[in-house]
């Protein structure tokens, strides 16, 4: 004898109530939420103006000392879509850091890996495990997972750089470990040692043995990077990104860090790229020039110094309508997606019923 | 001329207020929160009793049909520490699924990868991309990232199994894609085909070429697994886990899925393991026997059918004080930690100051 | 003013003479010889009858003791095409070894790697680095590069097995190192330890860490191998090899040794395979049954115990016209070709002008 | 009843005679020969003077045209120890090639891989699969396994370079395939394209996907290589090789070819290295300067342009007693040894009984 509808409804309610009490969730009630057709990211596209960032950084320099405990004078970009999470995208931390003449940001290490991309100043350094890496505008400096590092400024002008970390991801993974160095600064064992050994193009010293995926080169200098951009820019490039390099770990040919890919990109004058979308997120810093990006249909105008975010699976294209080259540096969580078999990308086509998706065991 | 303290305080407050408005966070205010000495997980150790799970699963079978949209009749374990997140640990989904005689859970695919570990019933199957994998108690069945799959029960008794997915992780990474199959069930191209080809111990058919990291074997049968457990159990084993196997992808020698490691473990009678902790999290299912685990100082008694969670970086040890073997199946996010260079483990020592940590470029 | 022909000829002769004196070769004189369109191997297809091999092995047992210096009672198969080179193919050594009751072949190690495939006898063993691997008919036992090994017979009957080594290759590479163990036999640390740990199908003990490419499993037992052959043989197989497994290194999913691939193959009753050719060479041992292979147009009839060679790039097909299954074990230098980017294969087609070649950056 | 000695001897002789007839070798008779304590190479250390090589190359230019069939105007270095084998070492071909103004050496491809290292001339090129690589002194140009290539000289002076191939190895492996291109020269699709894309230091264009181990960079230019040598030479280097770089495949971080490692090495003024030995063989070309090497106790004085061979497992040290830097380019078969698990090296110590050997599962 079948039950009446109200009976069943009451039984269902009882069931749901007990499930809740027993820390169980009936999947069928949340399937649509958990398994959307495409990623429903909360990450928003957003742009921070350099005029603000620079002013605020200098203001912080006036107001706040660098001390143990606080450790760094850093302004982190907070994505407005993430409900207060300390993150530029769901996985990436991006920030502006300032060190003033004579200061040393105290030595520590953490399992979150970091990159620095130098925006202004010189005669400053990051000391990575005793290798004092001297930094200038345009340099990319790595402090891999669990390497000791302190930063100092030996100039009479402050240095400002971009910080990029995988901290939101490593935090979400419950894998953050941190340790302060016993003294304020790590002893300097050598100066520019990794750069001395690994700056040659696709050359490695025979007596240096790889240590797992630890990157042997810690400072990718600007000048040869720029020369390479100019040279490759003499010919054809990507329809989606124009001229774009990924920085490599010389020992593996892979990304510089297991969790962060670093890219340097030139949008040549007159170029307007095709749109595409990728499952990874990105934080861009405008190193030189001006232009704009269209992200999910919204135009973001950018100029030298600005930062902006491209969320996961967001259509994006870049344009440079001026006469000068525009250069973008970016950090992206692509290596994470590739390592976990989740990478996807898709070119935009106006009439698309059958748009090709590349990735996730489909290629 | 130096400013008075109240002046500075007001300036700082103004600064903090502007930072907030401009979507910037001064790192020094949150350093301690973002960079703890050790992971501060919200994941709680917790145990679900099989008597409840089984009763609730059967009750769901009485009350709820399997339909497109809801897709599956699944009760997900919700970790009480995660504030309502649909997850057993921060990265792992674990659940109990029931399919009744004659039912077919509709075919779909998603970028979240899944495993099934069969608890009771037989003459049921998972059809993975057309390979109909017949399932019995103790079998481990894979539905890798983006593979079509439907489940059916051809028995006169329901089948109940454990589901394990990387859904919380893939969700946090904004990488969930989902697609329903055009019809209710995928055509069956063959029966037990992967098992036919790859069931041999450390053998592969020469005519099958690997497709990236896609696992060629989809069904790891119970009987040979158990025989291997018995055999290895005749000698020495791990001080921390007693007898413990990881299931392998035959083509790579690595984990069965890029995001989920699967383990089968026997705690032999009389064994009480040493404690250790690992950066990964785990969900255990008690396949056979009884015993207990001490997790961060709390004892969890378990018996056949129970599920329990070991949080990241939680001290844990296992004990079997009975006369019968105890067998635990578990899913762990270890492959994620290893792929991203974040894996760590530490053996417990009572008086140590200098406990050795293994991993993260330290080994 | 041009020279007369005889002048030029004399000058050329003088030139060639000086080149020869100065240890120089004018390439243009030998291009056709050095760069043939296809491999011009000297390796001949050849078959050794088991009746002869067995008789000779036993005769050797009567006549020759096992002693330090000679080290082993082994009859090596000499390919008739190689001008006396001690080799079955240009890269592979294959042989029949006999150990009599109570004998122990003295312990040594060498950089040439070896496999044993057991033909008759039991209660004998190979002690590999202290792990005493008990051997029976059909077992595959590895002694990797530079591992200590001695062999003993504890039965009242002799044991006879096939030896397979990469000795001709390692010799040609000038990379043979050899060391006798200080005493006659290596101490036994455990019995069947690798087998205890790694006999499970696609399972590995979590507490055993890989040591590079050193294979963790040293004894691939016959019974589960045969069961796997039977099972896979219930369905479709390779058109060229019928049912054929490669043995795997569990830690890598690759070949058991960097230089030798091991294969077990079943030609089912009524099967006559299609011909193909591969750049690698092979030595086959007929483990069970009878049949024939056509190698470059010549038919070689084989039966239980026989050995035969398939040269590089030789067309070959296999046939079993009887009612019983035929089982072939083989060693092949395929891993060498793959590691060096030289692997190629080609299916035979009668009218082919455009036969597809697979491999060498062409695929 | 035991036999008398003469009886046994006759039986043994009969046995050996039958073994020989049946194409069998009793191992115990040849153990010492096949398994020496250390490699017994026939490769001799040898030095070719540039004054001879250059004169002979130019003389060949006068006497011999470049034609289909002969294919190349090349003088190969023949190691005097190898009994006439066309090889500089057992595995490596090294040679001097000359192309005169207006000539094009016809297009072909082969499975032997090749490198060119330019000694004199400019405005010449190697066209690799349609990428016209312009060459100058000091450039390293690759023609990987099975890539089409022709060489042309557009200057009014001849170009002379070093050829390095794995031809002896690939020949010994019976894996040589050769194919002439249908026409004399391959169409030029682009000029310096790989160099345009990959010349940046540890940068790769994001839109270029790796094709297996095929090296994406075909021309390693001299100038940045030299700058890198100078820079690394400002600090500490290898005690055995002084300053020494290996050229890398950007996509893998490994050797430029699976079979040939390429090295550029600077012996700084006043340096006399420590001796060591390695299982691999090497052919050196003296690019700049003068000095000497002591190989197995014999001193070989070298100056600009000379070639010399270091045999496998030969003690060797290098000295530069002058005031100018000396630069050596070399090809080595190290990647073969590493791929096959056979690599070993050993530092020299005067009183050593216990010299440490590195490699072959011993490290």
pLDDT tens figures, B330-352: 999 999 999 999 999 999 986 55
**Whether C196 and B225 lie within 8 Å, measured CB to CB:** no
Q: Which CATH class is domain B46-349?
A: mainly beta
Using CB atoms, which residue from D71, D179, D339 is nearest to C340? Answer: D339
| Beta-carbon count within 10 A of B313 CB | 22
Structure tokens at A351: 């009439």
Averaged pLDDT for residues C205-216: 92
Alpha carbons A247 and A199: distance in angstroms, whole number:
12
Number of neighbours of residue C128 by Cβ within 10 angstroms: 23
- Of all helices (H) and strands (E), which one includes residue A255? none
User: Range with the lowest mean pLDDT among A48-52, C3-7, C206-210?
Assistant: C3-7
Residues in a beta bridge with A290: A303
Provide the pLDDT for residue A201.
94
Tell me the pLDDT of chain D averaged across its residues: 95
Q: Do A146 and B361 touch (CB under 8 A)?
A: yes
Chain C residues with CB-CB distance to B under 8 A? 190, 193, 196-207, 210, 217, 220, 224-225, 227-229, 231-232, 234-235, 237-238, 240-241, 243-254, 263-264
The count of other CB atoms within 10 Å of the CB of residue D101 is 15
Beta bridge partners, D46, equal: D309
Which pLDDT value is given to residue A95? 98
Q: Which is more confident, A213 or B67? A: B67
Residue B192, sorted as left (phi over 0), alpha (psi -120 to 50) or beta, turns out to be left
Residue with tokens 């250059």: D54
Query: Which residues have C-beta within 8 Å of that of residue A26, sequence separation ≥ 6?
Result: A15, A16, A19, B60, B64, B74, B75, B76
CATH 2.60.120.10 for domain A46-359, yes or no, is: yes
Collapse the DSSP code of B17 into the 3-class scheme (helix H, G, I; strand E, B; otherwise coil) and give the result. Answer: helix
* pLDDT at C241 exceeding the cut of 90: yes
Q: Note the pLDDT of residue A361.
A: 45
From the list A27, A63, A86, the residue facing B95 with the nearest CB is A27
Which position has the token pair 């009976």? A7
pLDDT at B362 (0 to 100): 45
Q: Are residues A246 and A265 in contact, defined by beta-carbon separation less than 8 angstroms?
A: no
Angle at D132 between CA D131 and CA D133, to 5 degrees: 105
The pLDDT score that the predictor gives to residue D355 is 53
Q: State the average pLDDT over residues A226-236.
A: 97
Question: Is C224's CB within 8 Å of B228's CB?
Answer: no
Average pLDDT score over residue span B193-200: 96
pLDDT at C248 over 60: yes
Q: What is the pLDDT of residues D33-80, one digit of tens each?
A: 999 999 999 999 999 999 999 999 999 999 999 999 999 999 999 999
- Per the CB < 8 A criterion, the answer to whether C319 and C271 are in contact is yes
> Residue range C161-178: average pLDDT?
98
The fourth-level CATH superfamily of domain C46-200+217-350 is Jelly Rolls (2.60.120.10)
Query: Which residues of C are less than 8 Å from B198 in CB distance?
Result: 202
Asked if B361 lies within 8 A of A147 by C-beta distance, the reply is yes
The pairing of beta strand D203-205 with beta strand C326-332: unpaired
Helix (H) or strand (E) holding C60: helix C50-63
Q: Per the CB < 8 Å rule, is D231 touching A200? A: yes
Taking the C-alpha atoms of residue D250 and residue D262, their distance in angstroms, rounded to an integer, is 14
pLDDT given for residue B357 in this prediction: 67
Mean pLDDT of D146-150: 98
Return d(Cα C72, Cα C54) in angstroms, integer.
16
B248 DSSP β-pair partners: B255
What residues in A contact D234, CB-CB < 8 Å?
196
Chains A and D touch (3+ CB pairs under 8 A): yes
DSSP C52: H
Name every residue whose Cβ is closer than 8 Å to that of residue A103 and which is 6 or more positions away in sequence: A66, A152, A153
- Tell me the C-alpha distance between C40 and C36, whole Å: 7
Binding partners of A (≥3 Cβ pairs within 8 A)? B, D
Asked if A338 contacts A344 with a C-beta cutoff of 8 angstroms, the reply is no
| D86 close to D104: Cβ distance less than 8 angstroms | no
C310 in Cβ contact with C285 (< 8 Å): no
Q: If you average pLDDT over residues C177-199, what whole number do you get? A: 97
* Residue A180 pLDDT > 80: yes
**Bridge pairing between strands B307-310 and B46-48:** antiparallel
Task: Give, in order, the Cα–Cα distances in Å from D98 to each of C172, D77, D118, D134, D166.
Answer: 31, 14, 10, 15, 20
How many angstroms separate the CA atoms of A196 and D144, rounded?
Answer: 30
pLDDT score, position D350 = 62
pLDDT at B6: 78
- Residue holding tokens 């002058």? D322
pLDDT tens across C331-340, in order? Answer: 999 999 999 9
What is the three-state SS of D214-278? Answer: CCCCCEECHHHHHHHHHHHCCCCCECCCEEEEEEECCCCCCECCCCCEEEEEEECCCCECCCEEE
**pLDDT tens-digit series, residues C299-358:** 999 999 999 999 999 999 999 999 999 999 999 999 999 999 999 999 998 655 555 666
Q: Could you tell me the CA-to-CA distances from A132 to A193, A219, B137, D230, D313 in Å, in that order?
A: 8, 10, 59, 20, 39
Residue C346 CB neighbour total at 10 angstroms: 19
pTM of the full structure: 0.96
DSSP state of C28: G
Tens of pLDDT, residue by residue over B13-49, are 999 999 999 999 999 999 999 999 999 999 999 999 9
Helices (H), chain A: 5-21, 31-34, 50-63, 167-172, 193-198, 222-232, 334-339
Give the separation between CA D246 and CA A200, rounded to whole angstroms. Answer: 10
Q: How far apart are CA D46 and CA B18, in angstroms?
A: 76
Question: Closest Cα to residue D198, out of A248, C154, A20?
Answer: A248
Q: Please state, in angstroms and rounded to a whole number, the distance separating the CA atoms of residues B329 and B304.
A: 11
Question: What is the DSSP annotation of B54-72?
Answer: HHHHHHHHHH----TTT--
Give the pLDDT mean for B106-135.
98
Query: C290-295 and C298-303: which strand pairing?
Result: antiparallel
C71, C111, C360 member nearest D342 (Cβ) = C111
Q: A5-21 and B50-63 helices cross at what angle (nearest 10)?
A: 150
Residue A8 pLDDT class (50, 70, 90 cuts):
confident
Minimal CA–CA distance to D177: which of C334, C342, C81? C342
- Using the structure block, give the residue that is written with the tokens 């009763």: B55
Query: Which chain B residue has its CA at the smallest distance from C203's CA?
Result: B247
Alpha carbon C126 to chain centroid, angstroms: 19
From the list C154, C160, C100, C101, the residue with the least C-alpha distance to C127 is C154
- What count of Cα atoms within 13 Å lies in the side-chain half-sphere of residue C358? 9
pLDDT tens column, B131-143: 999 999 999 999 9
* CA–CA gap between residue D181 and residue B15 (Å, rounded): 72
How many helices and strands in chain D, by DSSP H and E?
7, 26
Touching subunits of D (3+ CB pairs, under 8 Å) are A, C
pLDDT the model gives residue C95:
98
Cα A71 to Cα A87: distance, rounded to the nearest angstrom: 18
pLDDT in the model for residue C361: 45
CA A128 to mean position of chain CA atoms = 20
List the single residue in D with minimal CA-CA distance to A222: D201
Q: What is the pLDDT of residue B3?
A: 66
Among C316, C284, C314, smallest CA distance to C42 is for: C314
Q: Is the pLDDT of residue D181 over 50?
A: yes
Distance separating the N- and C-terminal Cα atoms of chain C = 54
ipTM above 0.90, yes or no: yes
Of D12, D35, D214, the CB nearest to C176: D35
Q: Rounded mean pLDDT of C209-237? A: 95
Element holding B156 (H helix, E strand): none
Looking at chain C, the whole-number percentage of residues with pLDDT higher than 90 is: 92
Query: In the complex, which subunits touch C with 3 or more CB pairs below 8 angstroms?
Result: B, D
Q: Cα separation of D23 and C78, whole Å?
A: 5
Structural contact between residues B41 and A173, judged by C-beta atoms closer than 8 angstroms? no
pLDDT higher than 90, residue D358: no
Determine which of A174, A279, A296 to mutate to test the interface with B (most B C-beta atoms within 10 Å).
A174
In 3-state terms, what secondary structure has residue D127?
strand
Query: Which tokens sit at B181?
Result: 């199959």
Query: Averaged over C88-112, what is the pLDDT?
Result: 98
Please give the pLDDT value at position A7: 85
Q: Report residue A229 as tokens.
A: 């951009």
- The answer to whether residues D289 and D327 touch, using CB atoms and an 8 Å cutoff, is yes
Query: Using the beta-carbon criterion (under 8 Å), do B224 and C220 form an inter-chain contact?
Result: no
Check pLDDT > 90 for residue D311: yes
The nearest alpha carbon in chain C to B256 belongs to: C202
């Amino acid at each position: 004898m079948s039950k009446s509808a109200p009976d069943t409804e009451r039984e269902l309610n009882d069931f749901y109530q007990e499930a809740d009490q027993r820390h169980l969730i009936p999947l069928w009630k949340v399937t649509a939420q958990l398994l959307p057709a495409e990623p429903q990211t909360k990450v928003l596209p957003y742009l921070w103006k350099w005029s603000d960032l620079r002013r605020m950084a200098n203001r912080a320099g006036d107001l706040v000392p660098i001390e143990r405990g606080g450790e760094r004078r850093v302004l982190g970009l907070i994505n407005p879509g993430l409900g207060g999470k300390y993150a530029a995208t769901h996985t990436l931390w991006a920030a502006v850091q300032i060190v003033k003449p004579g200061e040393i940001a105290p030595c520590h290490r953490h399992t979150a890996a970091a990159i620095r991309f130098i925006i202004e100043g010189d005669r400053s350094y990051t000391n990575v495990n005793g290798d004092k890496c001297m930094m200038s505008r345009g340099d990319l400096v790595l402090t891999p997972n669990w390497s000791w590092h302190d930063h100092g400024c030996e100039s009479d002008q402050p240095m400002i750089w971009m910080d990029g970390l995988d901290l939101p991801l490593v935090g979400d993974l419950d894998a953050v470990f941190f340790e302060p160095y016993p003294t304020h600064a790590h002893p300097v064992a050598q100066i520019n040692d990794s750069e001395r050994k690994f700056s040659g193009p696709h050359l490695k010293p025979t007596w240096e043995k790889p240590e797992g995926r630890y990157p042997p080169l810690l400072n990718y200098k600007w000048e040869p990077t720029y020369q390479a951009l100019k040279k490759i820019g003499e010919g054809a490039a990507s329809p989606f990104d124009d001229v774009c390099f990924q920085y490599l770990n010389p020992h593996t040919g892979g990304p510089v860090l297991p969790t962060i890919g670093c890219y340097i990109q030139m949008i040549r004058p007159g170029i307007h790229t095709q749109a595409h979308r990728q499952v990874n997120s990105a934080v861009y810093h405008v190193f030189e020039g001006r232009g704009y990006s269209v992200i999910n249909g919204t135009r973001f105008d950018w100029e030298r110094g600005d930062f902006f975010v491209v969320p996961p699976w967001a259509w994006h294209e870049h344009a440079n309508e001026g006469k000068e080259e525009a250069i973008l540096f970016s950090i992206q969580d692509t290596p994470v997606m590739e390592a976990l078999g989740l990478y996807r990308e898709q070119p935009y086509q106006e009439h698309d019923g059958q748009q090709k998706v590349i990735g996730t065991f489909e290629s």
